[in-house]
Structure 1
């Protein structure tokens, strides 16, 4: 696939109509909510006696409420019915809600409008599980990160444009209310038209019985998801991002007016650069991940969220202007570019964080339970967003300023990241591997799609350096259990990475016969569980750059587990710092330079009965060629 392949999805029926259906829904939600909030902020007395501050808290809370109560039911519906039909049903509901809202607008009936807010919350609740369960059903594995990136970009751009449009339309006098009423109905109709082109997406569990007890079903949903530790902690990580983002976004209006001394346009500017950052980060994920689900980007994103959140605090302290400003005069103030850059980069690294998490959940959860898993995540998202409001109120009660709230949130993000990544060290291991092949080396993969997407297999490869496992692991679309010499397994720091990746240490029989036998038992168990196992049949690192003879260990493995064997070859690693090249260390380091090129070539599967050491060595040697 080309680097711009994610954009080509927009022209394909299996993705384009769904993207525009989602985009228009996010746009309409925010057009309506923003118009209502702006109207109640500046013209509240002609509508109600309720204080505007109360309404500004109540309306977003009412929008979130259906997520908490009905997400589990929405997940059941999305697993039971065709997702294209579900999308069209949701769009019909949206039209009905906007017609009710239109009556509320034209009759100045606030309670009809508040009812429509709850209705649009329900609309989004129903569509959420459909949105993320649709993608893995209709996209290829290598398209999943790009598709998720486009959806996230479209969601945040839709939110941004909806908020700007809502604020602009309602401010038009005297036709603003009529423009909002007509505009929301029109957008809903266009969304229905887009949904009609979504191709059929059969239900994974059409016989599912819908539970009438929404609270019990919510608990069952979360309990089921918690059985898959990686998926559940990824759901929690996703919800944490919404906690972080909700705190940031909720403080932008006051930050713009009280600290930057700006008008409404300054608030829109902050919202714009944040949303564009999220969109840019989401789109970059496909390029940085190499068209696969790369969870190594998640720690990278988390680091950025902390670093630039902390820098936003210091940048805010450096802003000394006290005069009222507009967008044009703000940009001339000292220190503003740093503030805007921090907000953009928080958005970019937020994209790096959120997109791989979505893709991981989609690929690792039970397919028949995917919509309900997404629904469970939506419940957690809503609860975390409610918790974020409580956290902000608590910090204000303690006397925190808004920059201090940004600082506290960034530090808390670091603590949460350390905790989560200690529970699921695969994230950190993949991050280190990703950093290795994007800083020290430039890795080209050849036929890596030959590594099976599921099921057990043994991978065999030549053994060139201490980081062979990291390079192979970073290139693989799936986790790999590596079998390695017990001495390398105990290497300081690298050993921690290998233990984290559940590598299997092995020793020669003459050194430690018990450890050798245990390794074969562990290998057989891993293959029985459907894992990928990678071994280096030479048994030791090369000291000349040439391949050593393949030992008989592979035959013992295949005797116990009749699985296919995938030959692979590393090219270009010989002579690097972490090989046993007898040449001068500094001389070869400077000769190779940074970003040295290497490649991983993957061969065709070899049937178990043909997987002799001699045949496999010939296959690996042919794949490696003359480039050591």
Structure 2
């Protein structure tokens, strides 16, 4: 009975319309599929009018290119939406579809028609994928099935309605050029509307490809951002592009708080108004705080950089307390965030030397980490502590993704083979070339002496040769154990037993020097000792030449 009385349908529709993000997404998808049906019905007549041919197979073949375009566009949209929803593709896709239909009106050849039809499908893929993703993201889990069912209902109604309307117009002899012009105009209006609704996301889409040439972005803790309701994001401030990076990482539109003195610049004011930026005075004016509170009550996302200024040292400094007054009477979530990787970029306040040093590593890896939501009663110091905890998580993620130590060392050493990398009294200045050559020689020697044992002891002073031995063992996948040569013989024996090291790389000269200071390890080491003096005698001239040649070769 409830089904026949359309009670379920009304419940589904009310659930959809009550959520503006879901409703606008479904409306956009429905418009796309409705226009696709119009194109499907009208194109054969348009094809006949321009070519004078009744070849239905050719007309259908040209129409089928839209499917290929849709596949490519959908795949591209998916690849651009890893770990975030690329909502900025929506206006880009609608502008592209407008251009494709406008081109179709002017197309005079079969190839031009096929390209315009393919383009319509391609930009359609860019248009509908983020919309479908937005529906699934914003839909509450308990009502997701109902919302998806309602979405299909609207899409089918749009397709059926446009199919019937197009068929009637064509049967009545309507001007097909005018029909395509009307569709193009509708898409242009839709494009303008989406740009006005999500200007920051559209701008993000235009700027992000440029940033990707130098930056690689990843997001952690995205699930910690509530899908709806007021959210205050608070975190560290490292560079002039923090706002852009944060918006790229967030699936929800963010309203940023900015100092009024920047907001009042005449050449920025119109731009900042378009993006609905919230100006605030240095004293945290009452009006500004009320504005923030109202945005949060409206269910929007507001971002504040807790320190109130771009960092001068890359560290997390004291957080201002102004936000506490803004949220004291607001039921909202406070989500901490941490930006890692922007210190040392061209947009930060790092020193020139540090910027040059970090830029040698290639593309900079940026991590945006969102923490678990905090209550609105959270103090400035508690928020700061939450951001500090996030910094450890972000750095752990960063370190896990890094190449092994020896890979980074070799890559950096290869950039300048003749640069001095180590200095000590015994070997003097050692260049990268000499260091690499020595490491390769020791690898050959250790392969013969160490076999498959994993743990190897090292009893050498802090020196260039000790660094070379360590790097050689790391490169072989072994675990070097640098022994403390100030331990007494009994403790040293216990350390060797627990480390399970069957060999200890040392030096006769160093052992004799330690003996004069009261540390006699000769008996403790016994036959475990691999002395550098003995290893040196086994190095042949051919091995040195071979290692030198390999040191010159590209990595």
- The TM-score normalised by the length of structure 2 is 0.57
CA distance in 1 between counterparts of 2:154 and 2:332 reads: 43
Structure 1 residue 303: deviation in Å?
1.2
- Partners of 1:278 and 1:494 in 2: CA distance: 38
2:312 is the alignment partner of 1:540 = no
Deviation string, structure 1 residues 439-459 (Cα, Å, up to 9, x no partner): 344441252436435477653
Q: Would you say 1:240 and 2:31 are equivalent positions?
A: yes
Change (3 A) 1:399 1:613: closer
In the alignment, does 2:20 pair up with 1:229? yes
Q: Is the 8 A contact 1:301 1:352 kept in 2?
A: yes
Gapped runs of 5+ residues in structure 2? Answer: 399-555
Quote the residue 2:285 is aligned against: 513
Matched residue pairs, number? 383
Output aligned runs, 1:152-171, within 5 Å: none
In the TM superposition, what is the alpha-carbon distance from 1:482 to its structure 2 partner?
Answer: 3.2
Gap change, CA 1:295 and 1:265, over 3 Å in 2: same
- Aligned match of 2:342: 572
**Once structures 1 and 2 are overlaid, which stretch shifts more, 351-360 or 455-464?**
455-464
**Backbone CA RMSD of aligned residues:** 4.3
The answer to whether structure 1 residue 276 and structure 2 residue 52 are counterparts is no
Aligned to 1:390: 165
Describe the SS at the equivalent of 1:602: strand
Equivalent of residue 449 in structure 1, options 219, 222, 229: 222
Q: Is 1:461 aligned to residue 235 of structure 2?
A: yes
Contact map agreement 1:481 1:533 (CA 8 A) in 2 = yes
State how far apart, in whole Å, the 1-side matches of 2:380 and 2:174 are: 72
Q: Which of 199, 202, 206 does residue 431 from structure 1 map onto?
A: 202
Provide the residue aligned with 2:256 in structure 1: 482
**1:546-578 CA distances to partner (integer Å, 9 max, x unpaired)?**
7665333456568777956524115337664x7
Structure 2 SS opposite 1:270: helix
Output aligned runs, 1:195-210, within 5 Å: 210=2
| Separation in 2, partners of 1:519, 1:257 | 59
Q: What CA distance in whole angstroms lies between the structure 2 residues aligned with 1:467 and 1:493? A: 18
Residue of structure 2 equivalent to 1:348: 122
Question: Can you list the C-alpha shifts for 1:189-245, whole angstroms capped at 9, x where unaligned?
Answer: xxxxxxxxxxxxxxxxxxxx833223x765564344322222222222111112211
CA distance, structure 1, for counterparts of residue 268 and residue 9 of structure 2: 42
Correspondence list, 1:45-84, <5 A = none
Q: Which runs of 5+ in 1 are unaligned?
A: 1-208, 320-335
Alpha-carbon distance in 2 for matches of 1:459, 1:605: 11
Question: 1:400 corresponds to which residue?
Answer: 175
Cα contact 1:505–1:519 (8 A) shared by 2: no
Q: Deviations over 1:342-394 (max 9, x none)?
A: 22121111111112222222332454444443444444334433245425644
Stretch deviating more after TM superposition (462-471 or 269-278): 462-471
2:231/2:296 contact within 8 Å kept = no
- The match for 1:337 is 111
- From 57, 66, 81, the counterpart of 1:265: 57
Identify the structure with the greater helix proportion: 1
Whether the aligned pair in 2 keeps the contact of 1:462 and 1:570 (CA below 8 Å) is no
SS at match of 2:135: helix
Change over 3 Å in CA distance of 1:597–1:349 after alignment to 2: farther
Q: 1:564 to 1:237 in 2, by over 3 A?
A: closer
**Structure 1 residue 341 displacement after superposition:** 2.2
TM-score (norm 1): 0.51
Distance 1:498 1:217, change over 3 A: farther
In structure 2, do the counterparts of structure 1 residues 388 and 464 end up closer, same or farther at CA, with 3 Å as the change threshold?
farther
Give the C-alpha shift of residue 598 in structure 1: 5.6
CA 1:504–1:623: 2 relative to 1, 3 Å? farther
How far apart, CA to CA, are the structure 1 residues paired with 2:99 and 2:68? 19
The change in CA–CA distance for 1:367 and 1:596 in structure 2 (over 3 A counts) is same
Q: Distance in 2 between matches of 1:581 and 1:410?
A: 49
**What is residue 253 of structure 1 aligned with on the other side?**
44
Question: Cα offset for 1:542?
Answer: 4.8
CA displacement at 1:264 relative to structure 2: 3.4
SS of the residue corresponding to residue 477 of structure 1 reads coil
> Equivalent of 2:94, from 302, 306, 320?
302
Distance of 1:421 and 1:222 partners within structure 2 = 26
Question: Distance between the aligned counterparts of 1:381 and 1:221, measured in 2?
Answer: 14
Is residue 303–residue 414 contact of structure 1 (8 Å, CA) maintained in 2?
yes
CA contact (8 A) 1:459 1:568 kept: no
The answer to whether the aligner puts 1:602 opposite 2:369 as a matched pair is yes
CA positional deviation for 1:302: 0.5
